[in-house]
Chains A and B, each alone.
Chain A
């Protein structure tokens, strides 16, 4: 079974600075997707960024980018120019055969002004 591990329960960043959230996963599948979801206090699950495993190029969405290392099974999220609105719980998730998402335990991101 696939597993997703987020080793940082909590992270802090100063406003306007950069922070990286870590994620590793375990799978024997060759074709899959990886995601980062943001969950603010409203508890809505918001897709931040997605990465197809067959693509070598790292995904980027505005201030959010990933470092996808397929051989190492690592998928970190970098947030540049952090804003107060970025404060939330961030979940790394894996989707392989059957489209079933497997989630990590989450990382709470705090942004200091």
Chain B
């Protein structure tokens, strides 16, 4: 049972490039989330999804897009990367009403 898997673990992007952060979970969780963690800070919600085909913005959605075509996968797309998007990105999933999401290992992204 792999839990929540994120790829890649590390990535360096140039300003203006695009990329997709992959996230997949094998726990059949309805809810999935993307968070970012800036150095020395807590996690901030970018986007979330309560099920396949349903997504919604979190606290810091600008510069990102998501899709949820299946229960298992929740990719995060960065268009036109900017230095302000340098951060560690976490994907998480949970059952509704049970509170505690399970987190992936995170992706460290640097935009130069």
Residues of chain B within 8 A (CB-CB) of A106 are 40-42
The reply to whether A100 and B42 contact each other, CB–CB distance below 8 Å, is no
In the complex, B103 has a CB within 8 A of chain A: yes
CA distance in complex: A104, B37 (Å): 11
Is the beta-carbon distance between A101 and B101 smaller than 8 angstroms? yes
- B66-103 interface with A by 8 A CB criterion: 88, 90, 92, 94, 96-101, 103
**B residues bordering A, Cβ < 8 Å?**
31, 33, 35, 40-45, 48, 50, 58, 88, 90, 92, 94, 96-101, 103, 105-106, 108
Given contacts A43-B88, A43-B105, A47-B100, contact A99 B31 (CB under 8 A): yes
Chain A 69-109 interface residues, beta-carbon cutoff 8 Å to B: 91, 95, 98-106
Contacts of B100 in A (CB 8 A): 33, 35, 47, 50, 95
Which residue from chain A places its CB closest to the CB of B94 in the assembled complex? A99
Contacts of B45 in A (CB 8 A): 100-102
In the complex, the chain B residue whose C-beta lies closest to that of A45 is B103
The CA-CA distance from A26 to B31 in the complex, in Å, is 24
| Distance in angstroms between the alpha carbons of A104 and B35 in the assembled complex | 13
In the complex, 5 of the A-B residue pairs with CB atoms within 8 angstroms, ordered by the A residue number, are: A99-B101, A100-B58, A101-B33, A101-B35, A101-B43
- Contact present for A44 and B105 (CB under 8 Å): yes
Contact B97 A99 (CB under 8 A): yes
- Write out the residue numbers on chain A whose beta carbons fall within 8 Å of the beta carbon of B101: 99, 101
User: B30: nearest residue on chain A (CB-CB)?
Assistant: A99
Contacting pair A44 B106 (CB below 8 A): yes
Q: Indicate with 1 or 0, residue by residue over A56-68, a CB within 8 angstroms of chain B CB atoms.
A: 0000000000000
**Cα separation A75 to B20 with both chains bound (whole Å):** 37
Task: Provide the residues of chain B in CB contact with A101, threshold 8 Å.
Answer: 33, 35, 43, 45, 92, 101
Enumerate the 3 nearest inter-chain pairs by beta-carbon distance, A residue then B residue, closest first.
Answer: A33-B99, A103-B42, A45-B103
Evaluate whether A103 and B43 lie within 8 angstroms (CB atoms) in the complex, with A43-B88, A44-B103, A44-B105 already known: yes
